[in-house]
Every structure is written in structure tokens, then in C-alpha cells.
Chains A and B, each alone.
Chain A
């Protein structure tokens, strides 16, 4: 039940994009088409879940054991960058169809601050391994949900009669603000 509450809390209430303002860059950059948004969401889910597990193990089994906890930021940055390279290479070799669907978004994830933010939050919030994995999955599902909804709204805005000064990024940011208000209404759900 606690894990379910953690999932709902991180996916909907404390959403990584609309509440913590992480990963705003891909939200604006890869949300013009709903298909691209879905691909980006899937790739982010894949990487965040694996990164959450690996960084949790490395922090407690290496950094804590050798008393170099202050190296967490640089460790996580390099681990995430290495992980993205490994996943890309693995998909190229093992699953070309999956590479075709997700591979193009993987390099974008190296610079996605949601991945680093999630791994650091897992440590500062003192999550266990299972909780960190669930948290990673919840955060990425929250990101995928928001970017997909945002992309579908932007597709409709493209054909809507928007005032000239609001076309493009301005109306997208106003949409994001309204979405943040809507998601804030879910507070108190769990």
C-alpha cells in the first residue's frame, strides 16, 4: 500500500515536470507530435528505472562503504551517461525494432535532468532499493503522461486560431501552466 501511495504521489501529485520543473527542455522540444512524445516517454521510462536501480546500489555499496558520499553528483552524472551509451549499443545489437522506436531519443536523455534529479532524490529521501525502483518507475510514468497529454494539446493548438503573439512557445508555456494547476488539484489524493 505504501508503494502504491508512493507511485501515485510521484506520478501525479509531485509530478517531475509540473511540480518540480525538471525535464522542461524535452517537454518543449519533443512535444510537437504525440508519436514523438510517446517514444520519448518510453525511452525515459526505460532509462530512469535502470538508472534508479544502478545508482542506488552504487551509492550504498561503493560510495557509503568507502566514505566518499560527496562524490554522488559526479558519480550519478557519469553513470547515467554511461548507461545511455550501453543501452543504445545493447538495443542496436539485440533489438533493432526497439532501437528504431527508442534509439533516436536515447542521446536526448543524457541531458535530461529528470534522470539525475530522480536518482539524487532517491538518495536524499532515503528510499530502499524497492522504493527507489518504484519511485523511478513512477517519476517516468508521470513524465510520459504529461509529455503525451501536452503533445496532444499542442497538436490541437496548431490548427486552432491562436493570436499571432501567442503562437508557438508562449501558448505552449501557458498550456503547461494550466496543466500544472490541474495536476495541483490532485493534492490530497493519497
Chain B
């Protein structure tokens, strides 16, 4: 029971901080910053350039 409560606290903490971070506006000049990660072979990582190529195709 304690473990479940602890897990819920952590999950809600993460969701709260994620939403807070999303709502915080980026400073001027930092709106279009992108990580120049060339990518390894882990295509499930969202930073892998494969995903950006797909986004460009969809646009």
C-alpha cells in the first residue's frame, strides 16, 4: 500500500513538473533551439533524426 502511494506521488510529481515546464514560456531567442543529436541506432528515442524526417514528410 505504501509502495502504491509512493508511486502515485512520484507519477503526479512528474506530471505536475512536466505541465509546469510546458507552460513556462521559452526566453527570447531560444524559441527554435533543437538538439543537434545525429542519432545512434536507437530509433525509439524521440531525439533520433528519423522522427524529424517523418515530421517533415507529414508537413
List chain A positions with a Cβ less than 8 A from chain B: 24-26, 28-30, 32-33, 36, 62, 66, 68, 70-71, 74-75, 78-79, 81-82, 85-86, 88-89, 92-93, 96, 99-100, 103-105, 107-108, 111
Contact = CB atoms under 8 A, between A and B. Distances in A.
26 contacts: A29-B39, A30-B37, A70-B3, A75-B10, A78-B11, A79-B10, A82-B17, A85-B14, A86-B21, A89-B17, A89-B20, A89-B24, A92-B21, A92-B24, A92-B25, A93-B24, A96-B29, A99-B27, A99-B30, A100-B27, A100-B30, A103-B33, A104-B35, A107-B47, A108-B35, A111-B47
Q: Is the interface of B mostly helix, strand, loop or mixed?
A: loop
B36 A92 contact: no
Given A62-B6, A104-B33, 15 more contacts: A28-B40, A33-B36, A71-B7, A74-B10, A78-B14, A82-B13, A82-B17, A86-B17, A89-B17, A89-B20, A96-B28, A100-B27, A100-B30, A108-B37, A111-B47
Contacts of B40: 24-25, 28-29
A62 B11 CA distance: 16
B17 A29 contact: no
Interface of B: 2-3, 6-7, 10-11, 13-14, 17-18, 20-21, 24-30, 33-40, 42, 45, 47
Contacts of A96: 27-30
Contacts of B21: 85-86, 88-89, 92
Nearest to B23: A89
B38 A29 contact: yes
Nearest to A91: B27
Nearest to B30: A100
Interface pairs A-B: 9 shortest CB-CB: A96-B27, A89-B21, A85-B17, A78-B10, A29-B37, A85-B21, A104-B33, A82-B14, A28-B40
A71 B14 CA distance: 16
